Structure formats: structure tokens, C-alpha cells
Amino acid sequence: MLQKIIECVPNFSEGNDENIIKQITDAIESVDGVMLLHVDMGKATNRTVVTFAGEPSRVVEAAFLGIQKAAELIDMRTHKGEHPRMGATDVCPLVPVSGITMEECAKWSIVLAENVGESLGIPVYLYEEAQINKQRSNLSVIRGGEYEGFSEKIKLPEWKPDFGPLELPLKHGATVIGARDFLIAYNINLNTKSTRLANRIAFDVREAGRVKREGNPISGKTVLDSNGEPVRIPGTLKSVKAIGWYIEEYGMAQISMNLTNYKITSVHKAFDEVCSKANDRGIRVTGSELVGLVPLQPLLDAGKHYLSKQGRSIGVSENELIEIAVQSLGLNQLGEFKPNERIIEYVLLDRTKKLLVDYKVHDFVNETASESPAPGGGSVSALSAALGVALGSMVANLSADKRGWEDKLSVFSEWAEKAQNIKKELMFLVDEDTNAFNKIMDAFQLPKNTDEEKSIRSAAIESASVYATEIPLKTMKVAYSSVDILKYMVENGNPNSITDAGVGLLCIKTAVRGAYFNVMVNAKGLKDKDAARKYATEAKSILENNHRQIDEILLKVEEAINF
């Protein structure tokens, strides 16, 4: 089962005093098992976005301590900033990352909200998935009137807090706590200093759009519906909130956006639409910035989008997709965008552990040649398969880029993308095969002084041996799945690269047989002989099918190069 991990992204109303923010983040980091992922201080907005993650109960504890420290140190009576806000901790969302549902995340946010309201005396409003009353689940609606207007708003029956006191504590204000999907805070830079023009573009694109007016769209009389409510002209982008502002630090106006569901409106769709609307108003987009951390997927999607617009294959490496996205979106304009520090999946990686796939080729070969038993044949087999399918991807990309083959671009691009996905699985198996071997070694080193210890040790050895059998079997399956790709490249790909596809097939043939050896030797040692025979039967079937198909395809390679 996946470990339950949630992310917490509190926004604190302080962006200039590093000492205050350091005290808040120190309080958060005092909880064992919580990882501080990112701290983004904004001077003009006078606001800091902090991101941390961990097991739910620990994250909730850390969030409470952060909110407590912010209430102690931040005085809202003197706070000034560009961003809307209503308290020292303005908003504190919990976001499901892995192994946990949104419903569970919402329950944890209610636990946090109740504790903050009752223990710290802070009025708390639930929002998004934690709020049952959908009339007050939207953050901008809750925050309407901001800190300056909340002393009166809180007294209204419909704005009674969900937890905490019924009056606004003037020093630290109120806060909003809830659960939501990833919200991407995204600012798009303009070649103007005009907040007015930036707001017009923001109104063009945001889902809420703008109020409809009679005659002059700016100064005309507001059009009301039958209920006396203003009629709105919706913007072009769903699940997008946006305003325009001027950032003195940068000397430019920005469109400040919240993408509340990037699966509905992606980063690249938002960027392209703002570019279009800005151009209509004689303004040029010069770049953009992501605030805080961002999931990997929207950047991969952006990379594929811009490669497709360029008429290129999307079947390239993850690193290249990210690079294309960063360059196309202008994410380096205001400061270097560092993927290892800004993409949440990368930040959460355990970088204290050296992965085999991170070695340079020279070092990997030397490590394999050393007296250490790992990496061994299983890891080398997985690496051989990864190289084989990488050659298939290379031929697909070369074919997609071949002059005169433009009508075949989408077909070869799909094959290249499939190859990249298989390659990624195999790269994981390079290290996982060594991990499986190490599990067996660890099991053999368990104590065996008593009958109970012997029983525990025996069960651990059997369990580790099963895993060490299943991993190379997985390598066989994944490697075998690449044969269709290489077959297509031999038969239909760029003829100048047919031998590259042939070498890829030889790599796969070696990989499958090498992984087969590991399946058999580990299955042979299992106490469960029925399971052992099942593993062996499946491995033999894959081996035979793989070799037969590859040998048939290699004959075509031989025919093509003979003279």
C-alpha cells in the first residue's frame, strides 16, 4: 500500500521579515516526519506561501504550530499588501498527494480547523471539499471584504465561523482551512505597468469574467438580472481565478491566476489564452512564474503541447519535456526555474539514497565490476532493456522528423511516447532488482537464536525470495512489451536507422534471457513449490515468444543490410 502523504500550503500575511517566517517554518519543522518543501516570500504582496508534506496526523500537527506562531508574530492591524487577505494565516489548505482520498483529507482539515478555533481562539471558516455549505465554500467569497471589513462581516448570521470566536481578533484576524486538489498559483508577466490593462485581460480569461454594463463596458451602468443581481459576462477559461496587479519589484504588471483544476485548464492553455487576449489589446506577454511547488504532470503536458505545435515528436525524455515547458512558458524570466526544487514529486524524492540510474556510465560500469555482488545480472538486464527501447524511441523520433514524412508524424510520435513510458519502467527496475537482492541479504542476517527468531527469519527469507523472483519477471514482461515498437521501426521507420532498431532488439533479447536466469534461480529456492513452478512456466513462455519474434525481425534487418 502507498504511504499516506498530504501536502499543506499555508499562506502567511508576511513577506518582508525573514525572521518572522523563519520562526514559523521552524515551528513547522519541529514535527518529526514533516518535510519543508518550499518557502516563497513575496515582498509586494507581503505574503509567504509555505509548502510542506508528510503523514496526515503529523502535517496537521505542524500546521497547527505554524498557525499558532503566525498569530503570535503577525499583527494584521499594520499589514499592507497587494494580495487579498483576512488573517495572519490567510488560508491553509490540505492537499492529497498519495495513498489518501480527498474525503479523508477533508476530515483531517476539519480536525485542524476545530483545534485552531477552539485552542487558539481564531475564527475559522471551512472551504472547498471540507465545506458542506457550497454557498460559502469558495475562498474568494469567504474572503470578500478582507481583513478591513471582517469585523462587521463576521457578525452576520450567514457568516458565523465554523469554529472559534464570533468576533474578529484584530491582531491576527481570521483564517480559512479546507481540503482541495492541487491549486497552481501562476503569474503571467506583461510588458506594461498598467494595472488597469492587466485587469482587463484578467477579466477576459477568468471564469467569473466581468460584470455586464450598458453602453460603455467600463463606466456604463451595471446590468441586473430578474433577482437584482449583476449579470456577468463569463471569461474564456474554466476553473481559473485571475486579477491584474503591478509588481514594483519587477517593474511590470502581471496577471495573477489561480488554476483551481489544472486538468480542466492547464498551465499552457492559460498561458496561450493570456497571450492571445494580451495581443488583442496591444500588449505582449514576456514570461511567467509559478508560485510555490507544482506537480510534474502539468509541465509534462506543457512540454508535449509545445512540441506538438512545433511539429515535433512528443516521445522524448521527461527532462526534455520539462525543458521545453520552461522555455516556452518563460519560467526563467524572473529567476531560474530549478525542477528539483519546484516540482513536488522531485522534492519528495529521497536524495540521501544514491540510485544506480543516477551514476555516470563510467561509474556504473566500475561499480558493476567491483567485488560487490550488486548491481548484478538483474540490474544489468533491466539496463540493457532500457537501452534497447531507447533505441526504438530514437528511431521513432528520427522518423517523425524525416523530411517528406510529415504525414507520419503523429504515428511515430505515439510510438516514441510509448517507448519513453516503457523506458521509465525499466529504469525503475534497474534499481529495484538490486533492492530485491538486498532484501534477501538483510533477511539472511536476521537473528536465529530461538525458535521464534528462526521462524521470523525463515518467513522473511521466503518473502524476500518471492520479491526477488517477481522483479526480474516484471523486467521480462516490460522488456518483451517493447518488441512491437522495434518491429514497427524495422519495418516502417527511417531506413537509415534500421541497424539501430536491430541493436535495440539484441539488447531486448539479452535482457529477457538475463532476467529469465534471475527468475529461475530465485524461484528454485522457494519453499512454495507450486508458486515456483508458476513463475518458471510464465518466464519460459515469455522467453520463447520473445526470442522467436526477435529472431524473425532480425532476419529483416539482415536482408536490408546484405549486399
Most distant CA pair in the chain: distance in Å?
Answer: 91
Which residues sit opposite 42 in a β-bridge? 47
Q: Would residue 228 be called left, alpha or beta, if left means φ above 0 and alpha means ψ between -120 and 50 degrees? A: left
The CA-atom distances, in angstroms, between 54 and each of 7, 60, 62 are 7, 9, 10
- CA dist 246 and 198 (Å) reads 8
User: Is 172 a catalytic site residue?
Assistant: no
What is the rounded CA–CA span in Å between residue 388 and residue 419? 10
Query: What count of other Cβ atoms lies within 10 Å of the Cβ of residue 312?
Result: 17
Q: Coil, strand, or helix at residue 291?
A: strand
d(CA 334, CA 250): 8
Q: How many residues are listed for the chain in this entry?
A: 563
| Sequence-ordered list of residues with C-beta below 8 angstroms from that of 316, at least 6 positions apart, any chain | 303, 307, 393, 397, 416, 420
Please give the angle made by the CA atoms of 133, 139 and 143, to the nearest 5 degrees.
105
Which of these is catalytic: 40, 431, 433, 500? 433
Active site residue 268: no
Cell for 66?
Answer: 505554524
Buried b (16+ CB within 10 A) or exposed e, 351-367: eeeeebbebeeeebeee
- Among candidate residues 75, 83, 401, 547, the one labeled active-site is 83
Q: Which residues are catalytic?
A: 83, 433
